[in-house]
Every structure is written in C-alpha cells, then in structure tokens.
Chains A and B, each alone.
Chain A
Amino acid sequence: MHLSTLWFLIDGIFWIGFFILEGFDFGVGMLHSFVAKDDTERRIAVNSIGPLWDGNEVWLIVAGAVIFAAFPGWYATMFSTFYLALVVVLLALLIRGVAFEYQRKIDDPRWRATFTWFLTIGSALIPLLVGVAFGDMLHGLPIDKAHNYTGNFFGLLTLYGLYTGVTMLVMCLLMGATYLALKTTGDYHDRMLRLAGTIGWVAAVVVWGFVTWTHLGLGNGFIPNPLEVLAVLAVIAAAWLANVKSDGWAFAAAAIAIVGVVGSLLAELYPRVMVSTTSAAYNLTVANTASPSYTLKVMTVVAVIFFPVVLVYQGWSYHVFRARLSAPRSGGAVPPVDDSNSPAPDLAPGTSTAVGP
C-alpha cells in the first residue's frame, strides 16, 4: 500500500473515532437541555461526559492536523472553501468548550442558563456543519485548476451536503441517548432507553436514505458496498436493542453504524478527497494533495509508536469512569465528605454497567 493511501486510512480512522466519541458527547450536549426533568438530571448528563469530552475532541484536532501534515493541498482547499461554515464551527467549539468548565462556576440561574444553551447549541452545530462539509466534499464543489473553490457561501449548501449534516446530527442524537441510558439508573435510565429506541427508528430511516442517496445518487449502480449494508443493519440493530432494553449493545450498534456511515462516505470518496464539479481533472486526490514520502514516513513512525499508547491511556480513563451516575437518595442528605466507603445510594437493580458489549 502506498503511504498516502495508508494516511488516508489513518485519517479516516481519526474522523470515525471523532464521530463516535464526540458523537455521544454532542448527543448528550444536545439532549441534556430537553430530556432532564430537573437540574439534578442535567448535572448527571453533563457529568457523564465531563471527564471524557476533552480527550474525545482531540480526535477532531488530530484528524484536522493529520490532513495538514499528510495532505497539505487538501487541508488548504478544505479550510479555505468552508470558510464561513468553519467560523461557525469554531464559534461552536469555543462556547461549548468553555461551557463545560464555566457553567457551574457561578451560582446564578442566568449565568447557568447561558452556558447550558452554549453547550446545547454548540453540540448541535458542530456535527451538523462538519457533516455538511463531508457531504460537500463527496458531492463536489466548483474547484478550479489551482484547487481553489470558486463559489460563494451559498454554494456550500448542496442538498446532499445538508442531508449528510442531518444524518450526522441524528446519529449523534442516537449515540447520546444510548450513552445516557448506559450511564444512568432507574427512571432516568428507562426514559433514555425509550428515547434511544425512538431516535433509533428515525435514524434507521435517515441512514437508509443516506446510503441510498450516496450510492444511487452518485451513480454507483445497484450493488451496495459492505460498509453501506453495515450502516443500515447496525442502526436498525441499535434501534431494536434499545427497544429490548439492552443499553450496552445498543450503544455499540450505534457506534458501528457510525463506522458504516462515515466509512461508506470516505470509501466512495477515495482515491479523491474533494470532488470538483468544474472538471474531473481538477479533483483533489490522495495522490495530488499528499506530502512527499519523507514527511509521510516520519508521520508513520510517530503514529506507530504513539497512537497505541494514546489508545491505552484513553481506554484506561474510560475504565476509571465506567460507572453509572445517579442522584443521591431522596431527602437531600449530603453524604459525608471524604468517605468513599459510605453506603451506596440506590443502585439501579439489574442494569448492566458495561460500556459496550
């Protein structure tokens, strides 16, 4: 395999990892304003991703930085093309990232409400707009010989791009609902599972539409590729598993569905990275945007050594925070401070605590 193909694959892994890991963070961020019955439940929702969201967001940063280093031509065209959309993405990243830390710092309802909405809106905008950008890259945009986008902002709003954005948004909602079901107990848990079931069927329809459009709309004949089949089957499985109250498996199936959705888009794209509607000769491809082989070799060595290490310690942090969260026993009694051996509050009976299968 050529090194540039390898790096397209690695970058794909980072994007898929980002959509899975930040996917449920975005989902929780979007949902927490609406599904929580009270402030306690809102706190539980945000606490469930509190220790993890920042590490998850690094997948996005690395996915972008890998494009910069391994495919500078792609990076240059992509970021200058989606200019105003990326301004909004950055705005969303700014307000959302700060909201996690600042939300509870001042005991004032208006302060808290402001950051709660920052978190909610930011969590919705990022997957939506990044999804639109991904759809556009495959759908094609007017790009000239020098690989510069020649359209304006409204030219970015292609129907396929918008639909891809909606697909990513719905998938993030599904990830978020199954994740919340996985991290809560009792009534909260049951409601989230029901919600996941409902979102799951919506997502199944949306994803089916996405793979059909991707496949037929782009003129690929009638034989679906395995990733597209996987996407549809996995999202149906997620909806079904949520309905039969298997939260861990439902979460896993939703994650696999993301692999299918993002993977099938990237697979259709390869060996191109951005399609030009002006002329197929102006397509950006893996070959014509990649860095020279020395850079790719250096990057390969670095990735081979350090990426597994990252997976180990990030996995460990998931292990540390694997437990479900629940409200304290009623009555509002404050448990004794500094006493981790105090009796357990109400444990939700019979629920699995495993993350994934």
Chain B
Amino acid sequence: MSTDLARWQFATTSIYHFLFVPVTIGLSFLVALLQTTWYKNDNPTYKRLTKFFGTLLLINVAIGVVTGLVQEFEFGMNWSAYSREVGNIFGGPLAMEGLLAFFLESTFLGLWIFGWDRLSKKAHLTCIWLVAFATIISAAFIMAANSWMQHPVGYVLNAQHQPVLNNIFALFTSPEFLWSYVHVLLASLVTGSLVMLAVSAWQIRKKRDVDAFRRTATVSTIVLIPALILALFVGSELGVVEGTYQPMKIAAAEAQWNTCNSHCSFSALQIGGGTNDQNPTKILEIPSLLSLLATNHLNGQVQGINQLQAQYVKEYGPGNYVPNVFIQYWSMRVMAYLAAVMLLFSLWGAWLLRKHRLADSKWYLRIAPWAVAAPFLMNTAGWMLAENGRQPWIVQGLLKTVNGVSPNVTSAEIWISLIVFVLIYIVLGAADAFLMIHYGRKELGDGSDDEGGGTSGPPVDGSEYAHDSESDQSERVPALIY
C-alpha cells in the first residue's frame, strides 16, 4: 500500500516537475540566441523579443525550480531505505548538481533579470548563456543519477551486499546515460521551440508585430526540425541500448510476450492487450520493423516477456518481473507517433516560411498554438516508458521498489503529503498557465527597461525606483520584479 502511494506521489510530482524543466532548458537557449542576435546586429526588435520570451521563461522557471525541491526531498522522505542503500552513489550527482549547476543558474538568472542597465551588454549576454549552460549541466547530473537506476555501473558490492561507488566516471560514460541525456536535451529543444512557435503563430494570426514574430517563428522552426529528427534517431538508439540492459522494458513496450527470433514485426496499434491479455488484436503489423528498432538489424532477436520472466525468476528468485504492459505499449506509441506528426507539422511550417506564406496560412497559424500540447504529452509518455519499464526494480537488478520505501512512514502521512502537493500544484499550475497565456498574448513591448528583463508588469502608481549609489549617477532598478 505505501509503496503504491509513494510511487503515485513520485510519479505525480516528477511528471509535473518535468512539464517545466524542458521549457526552461529549451527556452533559455532560444532566449540566449535572440539576445545574441540583438548583441550582434543592434536591431531593437531582437531586444524586444528577448524580453518578451524572457518573461515567459521566468514565469516557467519559477515553478520549475521550486518543484525540483520536492523531488530532492522526496528521496529521503518516501524512499529512505533506497537513500540509505544507494545514497553513496545516487547522492553524488545530486550534490554536484547543486554545487555546479544550481548556484550558477540562480545567481546568473538574478543578474540577468536585474542586470539590464547595471551590466555591460556583453556581461549581460554572458549571464543568459551561463543560465542556459547551467540548465544543461543540471540535466546531465540528473540523467546520470537516473541512468544509474536504469543500468547501474561503477560500483562493487561490499560485504553486506550493499552497492558502493568505485568509479564515478562510469556514471557519466555509460551508454544508457549518454543516449538518454542527449535524448532529453533534444526533447527540451523541441519543447522550447514549440512553445516559441505557438506564441509566435498566435501573434502573427492576430496581426501583431508580424515582422518580429515571423523572426521567432523562423528561429524556432530552424531549431525544431533538426531537434525532432535527431530526437527520433537518438530515441530509437536509446531503445536499442535499453533492449540490451533492460530487455523486459522493450519487450513490454512491444507487448512481445514470446521471443521472436528474427524479422519481428511491429504493430502500429492493438486492441486489448495489457498485463493480463497475451493475445491482443494487433493492427497494421509492419514486418521486420521491430527487429530493426530493437536491435538495429532486420533479423535481430527480440526476447519475449514470458521467457524473460522465467529467466529473472531463475536469476533473482520468485516474483513478478513484468511491468505494466499497457502503459509500456501505449506510452511508447504516443511518444513516437506524436513526434512523427510534429515532424510533418514543422516541415509544413518550414515550407511556408520558405515560400514567405506563413503569415497568410490561416490553418497553420490556427493549429500551431494547439500543437504546443504535443511536446508535453511526448515528454510525459517518454518518462512513463522509461520509469514504468524499470519496474519492479528501483535500481535495475539491484534493489526492488518495494524494498526502497521508508519503513516508518505511514500510508496516512503519504496521503497527506500527496494531497497537499496535488492541491498546491493545481493552484500554482493554474497561476502559471494563466500568466503564460496572459503574457504570451500581450503585445510586444518596446524593449524598455520598464520590462525589467522580461519581468514586466504594470507600473504601480506610475513611479520608478532608483538604486542610489555612492556615485553621482542613479542606477535604475527594474522596478517591476516586485
């Protein structure tokens, strides 16, 4: 009972957290690009765009940062046995993330927000690049920690059969880490650029600053297309890597109950299926595609769930080693199919941009603001595929999820915390969505410092605040952060 509750809580809070993370990673890079363009060509349009999208970035960062705290606390609160057992390995990347990434991100974000007229143009530009850089370092540490749960490396078992770190570099060089890290970064670029594209399309459709927003539509499309193609490719390679280390995850994702020796077919859809139905009606079977996806060879072997279960019972003792097949099968397909649809959509946009007809394409402009839902669905599905597929393990092959929970935390306590988090997340999420839409629909500002690094808001009683200093010049404070 408390294991299920603790899992529900982790799933809820981490899925929620990861709605904001990829926007932060993707959008901070894109905002840095816009500001770099302004720095280089001194065209005020780019300053205005930097501030406009900077505001959206900050609205999003606020929640991304605080929800990350919940994740860090949760390991000790709900998963104390796990933390005790593997903290000497898993805790390392988290501590490094704090020291190397969080300090960098928060300090330079503060400097960027308040530094528009206090720093030189160059120093100020450096700040946003350091923020963008910090977000990707942060992701590296988290993905190293997560990859270690998927495919533990760099440890030995001590006399008490406890895993003990003996090679930190192994965590950052394992194929599981490399492929999943790149995959997450690409997914973040896809997310960030689709957010920018959605807002730009909406603004163009309303005929507001069409010239300016066509530029951001172009920038985001240029980033989006290669990021999507690479994400598909890297994701498929990640599938091969995980097929090696976590064959059960891949078998479940294909609802492949029995081993198929070569030219295994891929089912586009199925009716029925799930953990209790081994004979679903498969629709649109594509010959050999599964072998290709899972092994990179047309005649590759794909192990079946039943055979793997038997093998694991022999290896690890009695138990059920089959993850929820329904979640695996459909999360994989939601992710992959949406990515394919998004690729077609973005190619359509690229074609329109090339023909200079984007501003006139009513349908494209109408669909684009809705397309922004796709990356969030894809990201969520991707994480469900990765995390659900690892079950029943919390660390693949080393520690089972049921053995990771806090022994002394009661179900009632987890219920309380779950309800508290869900309620506050609903409130904060509503505020965030409201602000994102409000500011995404605002007219492009004039780029003045009133906007305070994109933290614009209505001036209160028309006054400004000055930062007195010993020198004879007054340095104006962006008035509107508060």
Contacts and interface: CB of A to CB of B under 8 A. Distances in A.
Contacts of A75: 75-76, 83-84, 87, 91
Contacts of A42: 482
B84 A40 contact: no
A159 interface: no
B443 interface: no
A347 interface: yes
Given A47-B481, A325-B467, A340-B476, A84 B417 contact: yes
A61 interface: yes
A57 to B, nearest CB: 7
Contact of B89 (A295, A314, A323): A295
A54 B65 contact: yes
A166 B216 CA distance: 52
B468 A65 contact: no
Chain B: interface size category: 35 or more
B420 A104 contact: no
A55 B113 contact: no
A83 B77 contact: yes
A320 B115 contact: yes
B168 interface: yes
Given A80-B76, A84-B413, A106 B460 contact: no
B417 A325 contact: no
B473 interface: yes
A87 B91 CA distance: 21
A86 B69 CA distance: 11
A50 B114 contact: yes
A307 B95 CA distance: 12
B408 A150 contact: yes
B416 interface: yes
Interface string A90-116: 110111011011111111000000000
A55 B431 contact: no
Contacts of A121: none
A259 to B, nearest CB: 21
A228 to B, nearest CB: 30
B187 interface: no
A101 B417 contact: no
A13 interface: no
B465 A76 contact: no
Interface stretch (B55-63, B257-265, B321-329, B348-356): B55-63
B466 A345 contact: yes
A76 B83 contact: yes
Interface of A is mostly: helix
Of B87, B459, B464, which is in contact with the most chain A CB atoms at under 10 Å from its CB? B87
B59 A105 contact: yes
B465 A86 contact: no
A95 B424 contact: yes
Nearest to B482: A46
Interface in A266-296: 291-292, 294-295
A321 interface: yes
B441 interface: no
B119 interface: yes
A260 to B, nearest CB: 26
A218 interface: no
Nearest to A72: B87
A57 B95 CA distance: 14
Nearest to A340: B117
Contacts of A53: 110
Contacts of A91: 420, 424
A138 to B, nearest CB: 19
A143 to B, nearest CB: 10
B247 to A, nearest CB: 30
Of A44, A54, A78, A107, which is in contact with the most chain B CB atoms at under 10 Å from its CB? A54
A87 B13 CA distance: 13
Contacts of A323: 467-470, 475
B77 A86 contact: yes
B469 A324 contact: yes
Given A80-B80, A324-B467, A340-B476, A97 B460 contact: no
B174 to A, nearest CB: 16
B219 interface: no
24 contacts: A50-B113, A54-B106, A55-B103, A62-B99, A65-B95, A69-B91, A72-B84, A73-B84, A75-B76, A79-B73, A79-B83, A80-B408, A80-B409, A91-B424, A98-B431, A101-B61, A105-B457, A106-B438, A107-B458, A298-B165, A302-B96, A303-B99, A323-B467, A338-B449
Interface of A: 39-40, 42-44, 46-47, 50-55, 57-58, 61-62, 64-66, 68-70, 72-73, 75-81, 83-84, 86-87, 89-91, 93-95, 97-98, 100-107, 146-150, 185, 291-292, 294-295, 298-299, 302-303, 306-307, 310, 313-314, 317, 320-328, 332, 334-335, 337-338, 340-345, 347-348, 353
Ordered nearest first, which 8 A-B pairs have the shortest CB separation? A72-B87, A79-B76, A69-B91, A46-B482, A68-B91, A291-B88, A51-B110, A101-B62
